[in-house]
Amino acid sequence: MLQDAQSQLNMMQEEINLIFTNVKDVIKSLSDYFSSGDMSFQNFLNKNEKFMKFSTTELNFQKDFLERNKFVEQTKSKEILASLIEKAGIIFSKIIQNAYKANYLIEQIQEYYINEKIEENIEVSEGLLGYRNRLIKKQFNLLTQKNGDQVFIKDGQILGILQKNMGSVTGQVRYNLEKIKYLQFQGQFGIKGYRIKQWIYYWKGLQVGGGYYNLLGQKEGEWVDLTNNYWDFRKIVEKGSYKQGKRVGVWYIHMNNQVMIGGSYDEKGNGLKNGKWTDIADGYQQYQELTYNGEYLNGKKIGKWVIKFRDQTIGGGSYDDKNKGIKTGKWIEISDNFNNLTQILYNGEYINGIKVDRWDSFINGQFKDQKQYKFGGGSYDNKCWGLKTGYWVEKLDGYSLYDNLISNGQYKIGKKFGKWEIRLKNEVIGGGFYDSRNFGIKVGNWVETNNQYSHISEITYLGEYWNGRKVGRWKTNYQKNQVGGGSFDQGGNEVKIGKWIEIHDGYRWDSYVTSNGEYKNGKKFGFWDIKFMNKSIGGGLYHEGIKNGMWVDIVERFCDDLQITYSGMYKQDRKVGKWDTKFRNYYLYPFQLIGTGQYDEEGKGMKIGNWVEISDNYERGQEVIYSGKYENGKKVGNWDILFHQFETMKIGGGRYDEGGNGIKIGNWIDISDTYGTGYNKSQVIYHGEYSNGKKVGRWDIKYRKYNNDSFLTMGGGCYDEEGQGLKNGFWIEINDGFQDGNQITFNGEYIQGKKVGRWDIKFSKYISAPFLLIGGGSYDEEGRGLKIGKWIDIQKGISIYNEVIFEGVYKNGIKIGRWLEISLIDNEILSDIQYDN
């Protein structure tokens, strides 16, 4: 059979080669023919201009040209030929696309036999999932199928599928589950699974990035890349050029509606950074506005580097100048989870890239009147092994300005030993012992804090360790009162057994949520009851740790202000059939149906048919609902956006493509991420048109204060008509959180998606008050979108209660020299900041 197929393919190859050879010969012949005619006509014109004598052949050409109007004939012939060649090109393109599809099918058969003996594998993995304005660690099930595809499953629902392509790498150290859920790709696969030609990236149906792949699956030309931790609250992209899969030339960073020069890659195509660079921190939180500024040589950091938070230097140090990228000398470094509430710094010395001697830990105040103070630290050995030694005071997860959570004890050869204490504001709240001979191993009785410990979530765990493993009875306490717990096996395997009461993530004063049930050999089985304030609100059956049958799940952030349940059937841990969404305003009220829809019956966890579903940010005052249709887990056709408060009203919506790509098309009314009523919410909509997921033409920005008010146009502008999603011409933009008392507009011009020339910042205190000029400045005229010259910037969160501006100078998008922080209320200079020149 395979020999016959091989023989058939050989014959097809001969036919295709013959056809393509003939087509190329015909096109060359036609090209020569028309070129000859063009040359004769051009010679005729040239001689006419110079009044030169014509030969008999040329006179005959002139006579024929004038009598038959040969120029018009030749032009028409060219037009007909161009049309026919274009049609032939479309046919050949379809042939190539079908050939790639056939190639894909053959490769799938090959993969099937290669993976025939491979069993499907499911494992518990860890990723980052959105919670309010930050990404937090969450466990999920990662199913690796026989064909190598990875299926991401959370709470019985498929978040997304990463297809295995032989020509691409899909593995990640830690998965950004927001990307898995919302990032879609559209493009063509070539041989060996390579991505080829144009690829477009979509985020929730909107085009956000992409570029071109060559036939070997390498990026080429202009690209828009999304950063690793791109998501709704951290939309940072990088723009620049690729050459055979390697970055070249200047790359720009687009962050927080601003553009800055990242730096340059070498032009030889090695993808190595060179010269001065601004790197952005690969953080997970909205307010982790960190950059690293310094110089690269052949991809290695050299010389002085500074760390900046919100444009102000907070740390840094030096790398060796021998192109090794090794830290040396005095350094001030930042903690992994550095943010506006947890500004933790480490101060000490490096020798040949290894920490030595004393390192101190500091925390910065969030505001200018809060000073930096030392809270901990310790010493590294002097033998340049980089091992901690002696007495140390370290921060724990949950350390912040308000929760000074630390642990203190002894290190020996880089391992903890002896007694360690856990302290909150100098009060001992926990701790235990590490083995004095087998360093780093916990033994005996311990009191531990959970990784979200804070003054509003004082959770501790009390129990016994044996040889570093939990054994016997463990208690879970909240504010020193037991709220949960259970038993681990005595064999030292740290396997849960028997009855357990477990607390949900975020357990605190307004979220007393527990799950109550039984473990068998470390797996949940039987009925598990979900309780809120000791009253049952949900639950269902487990079998070997897998959900089956009828279940009532609860929303991840279940609390006083967000009481939502999801009820339906599980089949082998996958949602199937009809699922209902219910909500209540108060724990004594009954749950009311607010949404419903169907999952496929095959257990793929995919939404199908008509759905009414709540927004990701649904909560009291922000009760936004979406209504429309799914096909194979993708939105299609008309979708309405509804707002429910006392009554349900339509506030927006539009159409998704019918091809199942989940791409917005046609006329749309979008809403802001914070649409609603109450604190930090506002009713802002955006009205315009989409083409293939890109905004085109005129878009208006509208606002209203109350539900019954009419929407007023506050701004807007035009996108290009070519479907590139680029802003052009004059625009009026608004600030995030636009509402009464905080109405700010930015007024200026775009060219090809980049701000240019003068931009004004205006502020209005109330809906009926005029907008007054309070700031602004200029962007470069080269179209890079970089701030230059004198500027008056506004403080984030400016309002009638906090009217603060910053006045100074930009150079290529970077603050330089003297900047003043000024109060507009009394014109007082609040601070005087000096930046590097």
pLDDT in tens, 46-79: 555 554 555 666 556 555 555 555 556 666 766 7
Of 422-426, 620-624, 636-640, 794-798, the least confident: 794-798
Note the pLDDT of residue 169: 40
C-beta separation of 307 from 314 below 8 A: yes
Per-residue pLDDT of 94-146, as tens digits, reads: 777 777 777 777 766 666 666 666 677 888 888 888 876 778 888 888 888 87
Mark whether 734 and 782 lie in a shared domain: no
User: Quick check: is 806 in a domain?
Assistant: yes
749 close to 756: Cβ distance less than 8 angstroms: yes
More confident residue, 40 or 814: 814
Spatial distance between the Cα atoms of 743 and 186, rounded to a whole number of angstroms: 38
The average pLDDT across 25-50 equals: 62
pLDDT band at 494 (very low <50, low <70, confident <90, very high): very high
Report DSSP state, residue 133. Answer: T
Q: What's phi and psi for 10, nearest 5 deg?
A: -60, -45
Helix (H/G/I), strand (E/B), else coil: 263: strand
Q: For 193-206, what is each residue's pLDDT tens digit?
A: 889 999 999 998 88
The one-character DSSP state at 340 is S
**If DSSP states are collapsed to H, E and C, what string results for 370-419?**
CCCEEEEEEEECCCCCCCEEEEEEEECCCCCCCCCEEEEEEEECCEEEEE
CA–CA separation, 552 and 528 (whole Å): 10
CB 661 within 8 A of CB 186: yes
Write the DSSP assignment of 614-632 as a string of letters: E-TT-BTTB-EEEEEEEET
Mean pLDDT is lowest, of 278-292, 471-485, 577-591, 625-639, for 278-292
Same domain, 792 and 715: no
Question: How much of the chain, in percent, has pLDDT values that exceed 90?
Answer: 49
Q: What is the pLDDT of residue 139?
A: 85
Answer for the pair 261, 249: CB distance below 8 angstroms, yes or no: no
Could you tell me if 706 and 806 lie in one domain?
no
Sequence-ordered list of residues with C-beta below 8 angstroms from that of 612, at least 6 positions apart, any chain: 581, 594, 595, 596, 597, 625, 626, 627
Query: Once rounded to an integer, what is the mean pLDDT over residues 517-522?
Result: 95
> pTM above 0.85?
no
Same domain, 730 and 773: no
Closest Cα partner for 653 from 645, 644, 643, 661? 643
Residue 9 lies in a domain: yes
Residue 404 covered by a domain? no
* Same domain, yes or no: 620 and 720: yes
pLDDT at 170: 43
Asked whether the beta carbons of 45 and 62 are under 8 A apart, the reply is no
Find the domain containing 35 and state its range: 2-114
**Same domain, yes or no: 732 and 776:** no
697-706, long-range: CB < 8 A, 24+ apart: 697/721, 701/732, 701/733, 701/734, 703/734, 703/738, 703/739, 703/767, 705/739, 705/740, 705/767, 706/677
Task: Please compute the mean of the pLDDT values over residues 188-193 and round it to a whole number.
Answer: 84
- Measured between alpha carbons, how far is 727 from 698 in angstroms, rounded to an integer? 10
pLDDT of residue 48: 54
Strand 273-280 and strand 513-520: the pairing is: unpaired
Q: Are residues 730 and 778 in the same domain?
A: no
Domain membership of residue 544 (yes or no) is no
Q: From 114, 149, 175, give the residue that closes a domain.
A: 114
Residue after which a domain boundary falls, among 48, 81, 114: 114
List, for residues 342-358, the tens digit of each pLDDT value.
Answer: 889 999 999 999 999 99
Question: Does a structural domain hold residue 784?
Answer: yes
Summarize pLDDT for 720-767 with one digit per residue, the tens.
988 888 999 999 999 988 888 789 999 999 998 899 999 999 998 887
- Are 673 and 784 part of one and the same domain? no
pLDDT of residue 205: 82
Cα distance between residue 321 and residue 318, in whole Å: 9
- 673-714 residue pLDDT tens: 889 988 778 899 999 999 989 999 999 999 998 888 899 999
pLDDT attached to residue 315: 94
The tens digit of pLDDT for each residue in 145-188 reads: 877 788 888 877 788 888 776 444 444 445 889 998 889 888 88
Burial class of residue 169, CB neighbours in 10 A (0-12, 13-18, 19+): exposed
pLDDT for residue 17 is more than 80: no
Does 11 share its domain with 75?
A: yes
pLDDT tens-digit map of 759-818? 999 998 887 789 999 999 999 998 888 999 999 998 876 777 778 899 999 998 888 999
Q: Last residue of a domain, which of 59, 84, 114?
A: 114
- 276/264 Cα distance (integer angstroms): 8
Tokens of 803: 């009217």
Q: Name the more confident of 373 and 429.
A: 429
Residue 278, pLDDT above cutoff 60: yes
Whether residue 213 lies inside any domain: the answer is: no
Q: Please give the full DSSP string across 710-736, using - where no structure is assigned.
A: PPEEEEEEEE-TTSS--EEEEEEEE-T
Residues 242-263 have pLDDT tens digits of 999 999 999 999 886 778 889 9
- Do residues 102 and 15 share a domain? yes
Residue 63: per-residue pLDDT: 57
Q: How many domains would you assign to the chain?
A: 3
Confirm if 144 and 121 have CB atoms less than 8 A apart.
yes
- Determine the Cα–Cα distance for residues 655 and 668; give it in Å rounded to an integer: 7
The share of the chain scoring above pLDDT 70, in percent, equals 89
Cβ atoms of 651 and 668 within 8 Å: the answer is no
Residue 334, domain member (yes or no): no
Out of 143-157, 215-229, 246-260, 322-336, least confident range: 143-157
Is residue 410, in this structure, part of any structural domain at all? no
Query: Strands 175-176, 121-131: parallel, antiparallel or unpaired by DSSP?
Result: parallel
CA 598/CA 632 separation, integer angstroms: 11
Write down the mean pLDDT value for the chain. Answer: 86
Same domain, 781 and 822: yes
Based on the number of CB atoms within 10 Å of its own CB, is 371 exposed (0-12), middle (13-18) or buried (19 or more)? exposed
End-to-end CA distance of the chain: 74
Same domain, 727 and 638: yes
* Residue of 615, 728, 726 lying closest to 676 (CA atoms): 615
Instruction: Judge whether residue 831 has pLDDT over 90.
Output: no
Q: How far apart are CA 125 and CA 142, in angstroms?
A: 6
